[in-house]
Amino acid sequence: MGSLQIIADGKLPNYKDEVLALQTGCSIKVTGLLAASPGKGQRVELQADEVTVVGWADPAVYPLQKKRHSFEFLRTIAHLRPRTNTFGAVARVRSAMSYAIHTFFQERGFIYIHTPIITGSDCEGAGEMFRVTKFNLDQIPQKDGHADFTQDFFGGPASLTVSGQLEAEIYAHAMGDVYTFGPTFRAEDSNTSRHLAEFWMVEPEMAFCDLQCNAELAVQLLKYVFAHVLENCEEDMKFFNRFIDSTVVDTLEKLVSQDFEYLTYTEGIEILLKAKEKFEFPVNWGCDLQSEHERYLCEKVFHKPLILVDYPKEIKAFYMKLNEDGKTVRAMDVLVPKIGEIIGGSQREDDHDTLVERITEMNLNPEDYWWYLELRKFGSTPHSGFGLGFERLIQFVTGLANIRDVIPFPRTPGNVSF
């Protein structure tokens, strides 16, 4: 990483015709002597014996100049933006974080499972889904006034997955500790700085593991990734700290050693009800927390990440384990300053009959979940897992405010051109 200063002597044969004409964006091949640099700002420089121009870039039309461009502009040239300092640094850090995540799980004996991208389960309990079809959309076969999916490619409705969790649960009951790390898709029309239509999710799933064990793994994983980035991406982190957000390095350093705060949803609501802050969305027990509430708790009250547990069952998915109070479920969200939720997880309902009841209560059909229910008939275990939004984690690490800037080719409502 970093740039290299090249010293080209006026005596080079192509100095006048080529070297002097070089501009930002050209690609060149240089051989020469790498020597200590007398100049300021670099340790070494390359004293060129030969400079060959491989590819020219006409400065009159090349969109990138030496000045700083806005991120909005750079999003319109996704084929060139990785050449900028910021997007180069993001790409390196993203790669290092992927490596750290795999290493974390592999070192702990987790098996990496490739869960399907195309799924037949119509509702996995999270977000809107994109339909996958081979139908000619101008002539969809009909039956009784509805699309007849028996005539479609898969013989039934199919969608892009919103989560690999249900399939990961299958493998957790065969192998113990497993994880998935792959793309997920949500067709929600939320044009925010923290939502993408296509994003990457890290999803561990563990047999013989309750909510406490789940939360501990989440904290360990986050700390591991932060420590890895601090150690291996020092230059890039310095760059983010200087040009994007002057708190990122300090924040990560603190988090590696600091404890996270644990709180129940009910305690969180009590604090929010007493807050003097004016919220856009009203707070009451039973409401889904908005990012303004999550951020208030992290930024104004605790000044650190929070693990919020035991949410009302009405606002969480059917598969989360019911607590003894009959009102809350063993859900956990990990909330961080500036972003809000980066992890959503839970202990799963492992009791067959309770799960049937929950599925029915949520107006879903137990028959659609026959295989999921069978996992609760044959060697059911208390088990848990979570989903970590990879791009949200990169946002937190780099300080970049918009999620569109931490993925190479962002897919958002109205934008799929790159």
List interacting residues with ligand ATP (CB under 6 A): 126-127, 186, 195-196, 199, 201, 341-344, 387, 389, 391-392
Q: What is the DSSP string of 198-223?
A: EEEEEEEEEES--HHHHHHHHHHHHH
Q: Which of 198, 221, 236, 191 is nearest to 94 (CA)?
A: 236
Question: How many Cα atoms sit within 13 Å of 404 on the Cβ side?
Answer: 19
Question: Where would I find the H helices in 8-111?
Answer: 71-75, 85-107
- At its nearest, how many Å lie between Mn ion and the CB of residue 44? 48
Toward Mn ion, which CB reaches closer, 344 or 410? Answer: 344
Contacting residues for 118 by C-beta, under 8 A, at least 6 apart: 132, 154, 158, 159, 160, 161
Task: Identify what 178 binds: Mn ion, ligand ATP, none; CB under 5 to 8 Å per kind.
Answer: none
- At its nearest, how many Å lie between ligand ATP and the CB of residue 85? 25
Toward Mn ion, which CB reaches closer, 344 or 382? Answer: 344
190-228 in b/e form (b: 16+ CB < 10 A) is eeeebbbbbbbbbbbbbbebebeebbebbbebbbbbbbb
- At its nearest, how many Å lie between ligand ATP and the CB of residue 41? 38
Q: Which residue has the tokens 């080079």?
A: 12
Contact between 389 and Mn ion by CB under 5 A: the answer reads no
Contact between 340 and Mn ion by CB under 5 A: the answer reads no
Is residue 246 within 8 Å of residue 391, measured between CB atoms? no
- At its nearest, how many Å lie between Mn ion and the CB of residue 70? 31
Toward Mn ion, which CB reaches closer, 164 or 344? Answer: 344
Structure tokens at 217: 């793994």
**Window contacting Mn ion (CB under 5 A); options: 107-115, 157-165, 290-298, 340-348:** 340-348
How far apart (Å, rounded) are the C-alpha atoms in residues 53 and 68? 25
**Window contacting Mn ion (CB under 5 A); options: 163-171, 241-249, 298-306, 341-349:** 341-349
Is residue 330 within 8 Å of residue 308, measured between CB atoms? no
**Footprint on residues 1-40 left by Mn ion (CB under 5 A):** none
Task: Identify what 339 binds: Mn ion, ligand ATP, none; CB under 5 to 8 Å per kind.
Answer: none
- At its nearest, how many Å lie between ligand ATP and the CB of residue 344? 2
- At its nearest, how many Å lie between Mn ion and the CB of residue 91? 27
Task: Identify what 195 binds: ligand ATP, Mn ion, none; CB under 5 to 8 Å per kind.
Answer: ligand ATP
